[in-house]
Every structure is written in C-alpha cells, then in structure tokens.
Structure 1
Amino acid sequence: MLEVQIYKKLAEFDLDVSFQVDDNILGLMGASGSGKSMTLKCIAGIETPDQGRIVLNGRVLFDSEKKINVPIQKRNVGYMFQSYALFPNMNVYENISVGLRARKVKDVDIVVRKVMRQFQISELASRYPKQLSGGQRQRVALARLMAYEPDVLLLDEPFSALDEDLKKDLLQELKSELQISKPVIFVSHDKEEVNYLCDLKYKIKQGEII
C-alpha cells in the first residue's frame, strides 16, 4: 500500500494532496500544470515536499516532522517518464542491464533475459531505441522498470507523444502488463485512458484533488 499526504508551495498554486493506493491502478487526471507530475516526483524523491508523509508498504519514505527523506535510489520506486528515457547509445539489453549493474544486482544476465521474455522483447536485445517502434520502446521501458522489482510503479503520461491508433493498441497491451500485485499510479490528461486502465480515479486541479 502507498499512503501519500504532501504539501508543497509552488509558483502558481500550493500542491496539497492526500490519497492511498492498494495493489491496484490509480488514475490521476488533470490539465497540464495541475500538479500531477509534481505529485509523482515527490513520491519518487525527485522533488521534496515542504510538509507531509509518504509511506510505502509500511516503510516511511518521507516524513517532514520526523525529518525522514529516503534518497531516490533507496525508495525502490519505478518511475516511467513521458519520453521513456531510454539511452540512445545503448541497445535494449544494455538499457535494461545498466541500472542493475549500478545497483550491483546479482545474476544480471538472468534477470535481464527473464524480463525480456516476460515483455516479449527478447528478439530486440541488440536493437537501439531509434530502431524500435513506439510500442516496442514502451515495452522496453516497462521491462527496465520491472527488472528492479519496484514496490510501486509511477507512469507519467506514457502515451502523450503517440498517435491515436498506436495509443489504442498500447493501452490494451499496458492493461495486460499491469496485472501485478503492487500499487500503480497512472498520470494522464486523457479521460478515456484513465477510464480504460484504472480501478480508481482522482482529478487534480490547481494542486488539489477535487
């Protein structure tokens, strides 16, 4: 379970949100600049709230009163950016393995090949991001996240740069791939995406859940 209660003063408004997510998919909807991505960044540890508390599976990641702020690399949070953030100079295998090696994970090759089979991208191992379709890039990005065995997945507008036909196909794929026993937060400004994917839905406007 993920429990979030955060406050952060921003230039245009104050971000003030509270919610919890069990082992299901929570959709955060709202216009651009409403506070959706900032909420994810606070959970991941990329940004620091001014006040509040974030607890993941009973482990406190952030508590302003107790001055707890667990570093990004120790939160075990999987964050997928809008652009997927694949390294252009690395092939698929290297994109998945590089973070595991940095974390000194044992049996890196076994882990990488397991997630490549899981996401049906084994035949793409030697290809580079520019040689992949939008759907293939998304699967590689998800495989890279799942290789870390994160305790929560944060998906930040993963379909924002895709055309409508491709988006429909990938929505179906993603819904199947997200049948996992852990909290997932899916951020989007598209109501149809959220309705299709998510078990719970919240709307953020000017930093508040309405």
Structure 2
Amino acid sequence: MNTDFSRRTLLRGFTATGAILLATGEGLLAPGIAQAADASWNEPRSANGWGVLTARSSGTTTYDIPGTDLRVVLREGDVGTVLAYVAQRFHYDVTRLEASRGQVIGYSDDRQVKADFESNHLSGTALALYPDHYPLGVKGNFFPHQVTAIRDILAELQGVVRWGGDTESPKESVFFIDVPPGSAKLALVTETLRQWSITPGKGAGTQNIEDPKRIKTAKKLASMQAA
C-alpha cells in the first residue's frame, strides 16, 4: 500500500492548517519535548555503539534504492543492505520517495546533533527520509495505515532497526540500526534479505501489512521499542 501524502502534508494543504493543528494537537512538538540546541558529537562511537567514520570514502558505499532513481551513502555491508531495504519498503508501503520532494540522508560527517541518535549518521548506521518534512520533536506526521506499514517494516527486520518516532525526542524521518557491531541477528536478517532479492515473490512489495499475524508481531515489537 502506497500513498503520496503523509498526514502532515495533507494538513498543510488546508488554508486553516494552523487551526486544525491546534485543535487536534497533531503535527506539533510532542508534549514536554523542546527543540534542543546543536551540540558537537565528539565520541569515537555513535549513540548506537558503532564506530564513527571519518570520511565518506572510508567504510561507506553508495546504495541504490530499488524502485526509485535515488541513491544513498551508508555503512558498507550488512548495515547498508538493511537500511537500503528500509528505504525501499518505505517507498512502496509508506510514501513514495522522490528527489524533488526532499532529502534522503544516510552517512553524514556533520557532528552537530540535537539528539544523541542523530550521531548514528556519523557511523553510517542511520537513514533519514525527508527530514525537513518530519523534523525532530514533531509527532503525528503519518496516517494510521502508514504507521502500520512502518511497524511492519521494523518487525520484518526483527527489531535490528529502530524508528526515530519511538525515541524520547521523536524524529519520524529517521531509522537507525539498534544492535551492536557483530550482531548475529543483523547478519541473519541481512542474509534473509539477500535471499529474498533473488527469489521471486519475496521481499519488498510482496507483504500484506494487514495480515493479523503480522500486525500482532509488529505491535509486540513496538511495545518494546517505544520510548
């Protein structure tokens, strides 16, 4: 299931957007969350425990996002394979990714962060899809069926990826690796994705996200990952 519009985008289409947002409380800064000032991340590892990469050409590679004409620089290997798959499924099941509509960011050498998990870009282990549309501290950007799709993606990947919408300072555009280097689960999930890529009828675009069993599994994972 795909849609070209997020909840936030649709609300922007109304002339009375401000009144709608105030009335619903959606698309606003989450209660108790203030926008933090930029701080420089000077640790040798990002918040999720992966080593910071000092240059784009060191330990990264450029991945195609299947189904689009977009590419993204990510940590080479299992991390890149998994996050590129997240982007592909997001494109198919959440909202279409188009270069004209916003940025797709993987590895970044920008050490200025507002939330610790943003440092994961420094290790190439985070993916941001349209961060200007879904900024830090804002929740309620997606329709329920889009959230269902996001939850399904996370569950299919067995929890090796976490959604920024579940963090204490939410950022619904971000997905990041949530297991440490050397994770056996990450390796297993990656091998599954590689097998799906050469097996007809498997992988992105084949899921029934409304399957009750999948929804149950996704909800169970959400209860563990949500802040």
TM-score (normalizing by structure 2): 0.28
TM-score (normalizing by structure 1): 0.30
Q: Which structure has more RCO (C-alpha within 8 Å, separation ≥ 6)?
A: 1
Normalized per residue, the structure richer in strand is 1
